[in-house]
Amino acid sequence: MNDQITGAPKHEKYESSNMSDDQVFGEGEVEQTARAKQIAKDGDAHFHRLGWKRLAVVTIVEAIALGALSLPQAYAVLGMFPGVLLTVGLGAVSIFTSYIVGQVKLKHPEVASYADAGRLLLGRVGYEIFGAALVLELVMVVGSHALTGSIALININGGHVCSIVFSAVSAIILLILAIPPSFSEVAILGYIDFASILIAIGITIIATGIQAGDQTGGMSAVDWSAWPKEDLSFSEAFVAVSNIIFAFSFAIGQFSFMDEMHSPQEYMKSIWASGTIQICIYTLTGALCYAFIGKDVQSPALLSAGPLISKIAFGIALPVIFISGSINTTVALRYIHGRMFKNSVLRYINTVAGWASWIVLVFIFTIIAWIIAEAIPIFSDLLSLASALFVSGFSFWIPAVMWFCLLRVGSPFAKENLATSAACLLAFVIGIVTLGAGSYATIADIIKLTTNGSAHSPFTCRSTS
């Protein structure tokens, strides 16, 4: 099994016949083999430098940016009480399913991505299906970041430049930031990313709170409700729920992240830290922005702070928009690149040919993400579609299946398994309902908004946010 699993670098023996990409003219067979082994050794060491603290940073910034920005509008649709309840509840379930994912990785160290987990469950068919789903989800997420970047730049610019130009600029920035292939390197940028989103959200909350207090009637005049809005349609409700689910999508890259850890058994420290921080940030952002702005809160939430404050907040949020997006590119391409070059030292990305192959893949992947961003130019619906189709599986129903099939010892009804069985059943139901109902609701909402003129058509220029 182990020799079939692709992904992160492992110590292996290489024959000279596999080294044609990196042979130096004039080297003998012994020299070529020794050189290949040294390249593999250096590459393996480079890709196993991640500690639990940096892992926590990576998982936080990988999920928190777009999730936090979409939640206030979700609260406006669902109401304050259901919004807070769903945020805390789904966050707790996500921490549990991430625990399951980590246990699978510890039991099967050869698993370097969700595609490899699919192989464990369903053989070659599972490997292909899970791999395709992984790439599709991540390319949609990167597309969401390109769309958010264009919205931010339009807002900062004042709407004087065509949105397609800023969308292309966003794609270029995402491309450049995705060039470093190691998560330990990306984690360094993650500290900037995390500070960026906290400051941007803080500015938005403070500014909207001051504005709410200064208006006639003060805070009591803000139109918010503890319960769902009147005449709430099914599609609106499930798009909002799907956006909350999207906020807890950190499990999708967990296999890849853990594969770079020097002490993977410490992964739960990262999950507890990132999961708890995300729940707190999401709940405070969604509740306070909705309480200060009311039912007219926009998505992303930074648009609701007024013209000047929005420009400032978006300017500060630019690092998180682009750094978080680039991490998703790295997760997808570590799987693709590792699969393409599983029998070559190119997969270590520490030779000229290795770097060239990596950069070409980054370019192609980013272009595809940009096309998606232009094809579905509705921020909340793009997040919801990604959530319904893929996050529902990677963060909910698939971990539940993995526990039953790969980790469970004894009957699921045994006393020692009852609590875990019940939790996995809950996660499975959440995932399957989101997959079916969420996909239907999102597609219906996209059609509605596009046909009635509430959103601009795909691949058209708009000059306002």
Q: What is the pLDDT of residues 189-225, one digit of tens each?
A: 888 888 898 898 899 999 999 999 988 888 988 999 9
- Specify which of 3-12, 121-130, 155-164 reaches the highest per-range mean pLDDT: 121-130
Is residue 146 within 8 Å of residue 170, measured between CB atoms? yes
Looking at the predicted structure, is the pLDDT value of residue 174 above 90? yes
Q: Which residues contact 93 (CB under 8 A, 6 or more apart)?
A: 396, 423, 426, 427, 430
Lowest mean pLDDT among 5-9, 42-46, 270-274: 5-9
Q: By C-alpha distance, which of 84, 121, 77, 82 is closest to 101?
A: 121
Looking at the predicted structure, is the pLDDT value of residue 425 above 90? yes
Is residue 62 within 8 Å of residue 251, measured between CB atoms? no
* Mean pLDDT rounded to a whole number for the chain: 84
Which amino acid appears at position 465 of this protein? S
Task: DSSP for 54-98, please give it.
Answer: HHHHHHHHHHHHHHHHHHHHHHHHH-HHHHHHHHHHHHHHHHHHH
Q: How many residues belong to the chain?
A: 465
Mean pLDDT on 164-180: 93
Separation of alpha carbons 176 and 97, rounded Å: 32
Q: What is the pLDDT of residues 405-416, one digit of tens each?
A: 999 999 999 999
Backbone angles phi, psi at 234, to 5 degrees: -60, -45
Residues of the chain above pLDDT 70, percent: 85
Lowest mean pLDDT among 373-377, 400-404, 434-438: 373-377
Between these two residues, 104 and 251, which has the higher pLDDT value? 104
pLDDT at 380: 59
Looking at the predicted structure, is the pLDDT value of residue 276 above 50? yes
Separation of alpha carbons 144 and 129, rounded Å: 23
Q: 0.95 cut: is pTM over it? A: no
Angle in degrees, 0-180, between the axes of helices 114-157 and 52-78, rounded to the nearest 10? 60
Which amino acid appears at position 151 of this protein? I
pLDDT band at 349 (very low <50, low <70, confident <90, very high): confident
pLDDT band at 38 (very low <50, low <70, confident <90, very high): low
Mean pLDDT on 20-42: 52
pLDDT at 16: 38
Number of H helices, E strands in the chain: 16, 0
Is residue 290 within 8 Å of residue 80, measured between CB atoms? yes
Mean pLDDT on 413-436: 95
Q: Which residues contact 110 (CB under 8 A, 6 or more apart)?
A: 1, 2, 5, 10, 116
Separation of alpha carbons 117 and 400, rounded Å: 13
Structural domains of the chain sorted by starting position, each given as residue range(s) with its CATH number in brackets: 44-451 (1.10.4160.10)
Q: What is the pLDDT of residues 443-461, one digit of tens each?
A: 887 787 777 765 566 777 7
In the block, tokens 């790969």 appear at: 406
Mean pLDDT on 302-316: 87
pLDDT band at 465 (very low <50, low <70, confident <90, very high): very low
Looking at the predicted structure, is the pLDDT value of residue 13 above 50? no
pLDDT at 87: 96
pLDDT at 439: 85
Q: Is 180 exposed, middle or buried (0-12, 13-18, 19+ CB in 10 A)?
A: middle
Mean pLDDT on 400-404: 97
pLDDT band at 48 (very low <50, low <70, confident <90, very high): low
Mean pLDDT on 354-372: 93
Compute CA 97 distance to the chain's CA centroid, rounded to the nearest angstrom. Answer: 16
Mean pLDDT on 426-451: 86
Q: What is the pLDDT of residues 132-163, one digit of tens each?
A: 999 988 998 898 888 888 888 988 888 778 88
